Amino acid sequence: MTVETGRPTGQPAPKSAADPSPAARSPAADAPSSQVAPPQTRRLLGRAALGRAGRAALLATGRPPVPDAIEPIVQVHRRHHPGADLALLGRAYRLAEASHRGQKRKSGEPYITHPLAVTLILAQLGAETTTLVASLLHDTVEDTEVTLDQVAADFGPEVAYLVDGVTKLEKVDFGAAAEAETFRKMLVATGDDVRVMVIKLADRLHNMRTIRHMKPASQVRIAKVTRDVLIPLAERLGIQVVKTELEDIVFATLHPEEYARTTALIAAGEPAMAGLFEPFARVLGRQLAESGVPAEVSVRPRHGVSVHRVLLRRGEGGRAGAAHPADLGRLLVVVEEPADCYAVLGELHTCWTPLPGEFKDFVAAPKFNLYQSLHTAVSVDGTVIEVLVRTPRMHRVAEFGVVALGSPQAVGEPGGREEADGTDPARPGWLSRLLEWQQETPDPDAFWSTLTADLSDDREITAVTEEGATLVLPSGASCVDAAYQLGEEIGHRCIGARVNGRLVALSTTLADGDVLGILTEPPGRPGGPEPSGPSPQWLDHARTPGARIAIERWLAGHPAEPAGPAEPAPPAEPPARAQPVRPARTPGGRARLVIAPGHPGAAVRLARCCTPVPPDRVTGFHVRGGSIAVHRADCPTGERMRGDGRGPVQLEWSPDAAAPSDRAPAGFRVTLQAEALNRPGLLADLTAAMSATGLDIVSAVVEPPEQLRVRHTYTVELPDAATLPVVMRAMLRVSGVYDVRRPGLEAPRPPRLRPHPRSAANADDQGAAHVRPSWGMRERSTPLDPVDGAEDRR
């Protein structure tokens, strides 16, 4: 497929030889009929005389003549830009022709044919005059005696900037790094003016068209660079007509046998494809006309690489399968207004059976390269046919990408892009991100490998943050990539993520349309401690160069940091800053906490399995030695004892047990479990927060993390029952902790970040009058203020 294949909808048809442009008409064409020379006079003039008369008439109109060599370029250029400055094009051609005179290409043709062909490609894309002038001169500074200062003096700094942007760096100066540094230079220049890369793509397209004149080794090298860098860049700029032709030439160069087989399948299937698509196109056209939707319906054949990919998906073992006529093309429907796109969609889905999962709306949500269309697939007599729906402007942008948006400097000018367009062809978002990370990779080899890896997958996804920001990420990106795209500081403080309302690991791969929430540590105060930062394991999940570079830079600056959240943490004792642990009190010392009516002399001890604390509802069971074990009313161990036939003993708390008092015996041993997102320093932060409330930590056990989640189990000695809600609130305030519970009541449930609604069971809790139970944690009957608890968990 070449650039000239097909005419974009909405563009005027090219003038035929029978309808010459006004500037090219002979004087006899515009003269009154009485002044037209008779046929015998015209024959006597001869071709030379007519040519001189035509040039004289052209001068009489005030337009300077243009060289015959650029006449095809001028004719194409006038269709897109009727008021173009042709004199500037003529001057640029004369300088290029004089500079390249005597130079030959590998094919043996004069070298001037190359800039002429590149300029014609750009004219067919609709590029404006400045781009065409720079294209004619793009090799003069590199291959001739013309200097950049001379170009700037004769044609202005804008043209000189474009020419400099596409000029290669010398191998004499850069050696083996010349190619990588040349692309770096072009990308940096493209960041200021995207037309630099547009000229480079047209230059590479013509070189690929004539690649057969190169040596076989050079053909393979150039084709691979085109495949790895230039084709993805053409895709990102949205210039599909260039991208598809480059793909087919690279396919033919690197895989000639498969290319020949694919083209043979396409040629053999064209009659069947026409027999399938054309009748359906006529039926759809009539249906839309009857519905009052003006539309142009046409068959759009697939190019070679596209057909090959379809066949590979259908085949097995990496071999292409059999071709079906529906694989060779799609139906294109062009309508007048965006609203008509959805009217066409309604007719398609009403009259034919749509395939679930095949509808994609790129009109409301354009792709990263500005592409807009509705995609759907319907079943027609048992055959699936893909249909594209778009407007004429969408079609031009889909074919010619940023070139169809006009000059970056032409905002608000006639023919330029509109200010309300919302696009920035001079600085696409993906290009801004690429320019940011390339500054961090001064090594040419590292830059080249990172560039090819970044461009290796031309698919991208769009995720939306819970705050409403839109993130465009490469396919396969993880939550780590999303965190660093929001900012390096957010990435360093990231401790977890929530996707579509569910807590997930940072390694989770994002899908198109996901709603993402990044959980971070609280920002530090100026001069305060640094954030915990990333771990080395994050590099395994980072897909984008920006995230990888930021993580590597942090790790290089913090070599003594702990291993990271993915490394299992062994059972640990609390750090030295925790208060010394006092000896555990004997069960007899706690006897006065619980009153057992009818058993005045029995020893009473609090069970370790559920660690009851006032005002928990409790029950007792006789155990060996005649003592009574106090369990919480809903403790599973107590339920088993009741099931074994042990009669429960009615118990109640001592009036002095719930609040601190000089008369009440101090000391409640309680087990607490903290569910958290693992991170360096979590154990130290939790134990410090707990110790600050005045309790003693008896033991701490850290279970091996699973998908970056970890469970800490602490056994603590409380000075009084009122300390328990204070401790739990302090634990919840620690960065990364999303749930605190007292174990032993029920099987663990999936972690949650939002408070539970008040349940009927909680409403029946009987607590002390001065203590309100908590409804914000997974545990029931925790003496914690519900309002304060909800605020702590936000």
Residues catalogued as catalytic: 142-143
262 with 321: CB under 8 angstroms?
no
Strands 374-380, 353-354: parallel, antiparallel or unpaired by DSSP? antiparallel
Tell me the Cα Rg of the chain: 38
CA–CA gap between residue 70 and residue 52 (Å, rounded):
19
Number of CB atoms found within 10 A of residue 198's CB: 30
Task: Tell me how many helices (H) and strands (E) the chain has.
Answer: 29, 21
558: alpha, beta or left? (left if phi > 0; alpha if psi -120 to 50): beta
CA–CA gap between residue 555 and residue 536 (Å, rounded):
7
| DSSP letters spanning 592-630 | GGEE-TT-TT--EEE-TTT---TTS-EEEEE-GGG-EEE
CA–CA gap between residue 450 and residue 506 (Å, rounded):
22
> Does an H or E element contain 338, and which?
helix 338-351
CA–CA gap between residue 526 and residue 236 (Å, rounded):
41
Q: Find all residues with CB under 8 Å of 106, minimum gap 6, and list them.
A: 210, 213, 214
Helix (H, G, I), strand (E, B) or coil at 713: strand
Q: How far does Cα 123 stand from its chain's mean position? A: 32
Instruction: Please list the residues that pair with 632 across neighbouring strands.
Output: 618
Closest by Cα among 151, 222, 223, 229 to 184: 229
| DSSP letters spanning 649-707 | EE-EE-TTSSS--SSSPP-EEEEEEEEEE--TTHHHHHHHHHHTTT-EEEEEEEPPPBT
> Does an H or E element contain 378, and which?
strand 374-380
Burial class (CB in 10 A: 0-12, 13-18, 19+), 573: middle
CA–CA gap between residue 682 and residue 698 (Å, rounded):
18
The pair of structure tokens assigned to 743 is 């174990």
596 with 651: CB under 8 angstroms?
yes
By residue count, the chain amounts to 794
DSSP class of residue 784 equals -
362 with 374: CB under 8 angstroms?
yes
Bond into 615 cis (ω within 30): yes
SS (H, E, C) 26-74: CHHHHCCHHHCCCHHHHHHHHHHHHHHHHHHHHHHCCCCCCCHHHHHHH
CA–CA gap between residue 657 and residue 660 (Å, rounded):
7
CA–CA gap between residue 511 and residue 476 (Å, rounded):
8
